[in-house]
């Protein structure tokens, strides 16, 4: 007799199912995904304010670098999808931060 398999519920299990769709854990790759998405959100949100150009440009630059490396080592499609979202947000935040004053605007020179 077949038994019903219980599906885990919650955001954490859903995210784990998307990122680890091949059934294997990928802690390093998932860390790069999380860092890239957080830095992308930080860069994107802070780029809306002119006086936060240092925060948006630096977090955008670091988000672009972590996202690029994460793309290089990613193992599943879910990881790549979230990395592209984070990379796009990081790039927008970086470019708007550069337009508002740049990486060193007002601190050096």
pTM for this model (two decimals): 0.86
Instruction: Bin 90: left if φ > 0, else alpha if -120 < ψ < 50, else beta.
Output: alpha
d(CA 109, CA 2): 72
DSSP state of 1: -
Question: What is the end-to-end Cα distance of the chain in Å, rounded?
Answer: 76
Q: What is the pLDDT along the chain (109 residues), one digit of tens a residue?
A: 566 666 667 877 777 778 888 888 889 999 999 999 999 999 999 999 989 999 999 999 999 999 999 999 999 999 999 999 999 999 999 999 999 988 888 667 5
What is d(CA 83, CA 32) in angstroms, rounded to the nearest whole number? 8
Q: Are 48 and 104 within 8 A, CB to CB?
A: no
């Amino acid at each position: 007799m077949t038994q019903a398999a219980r599906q885990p519920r919650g955001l954490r299990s859903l995210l784990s199912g998307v990122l680890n769709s091949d059934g294997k854990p990928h802690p390093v790759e998932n860390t790069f995904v999380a860092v890239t998405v957080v830095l992308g959100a930080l860069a994107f949100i802070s780029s809306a304010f002119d006086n936060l150009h240092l925060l948006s440009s630096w977090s955008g630059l670091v988000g672009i670098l972590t996202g690029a490396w994460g793309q290089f080592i990613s193992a599943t499609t879910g990881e790549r999808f979230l990395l592209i979202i984070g990379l796009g947000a990081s790039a927008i935040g970086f470019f708007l931060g550069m337009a508002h004053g740049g990486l060193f605007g007002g601190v050096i020179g």
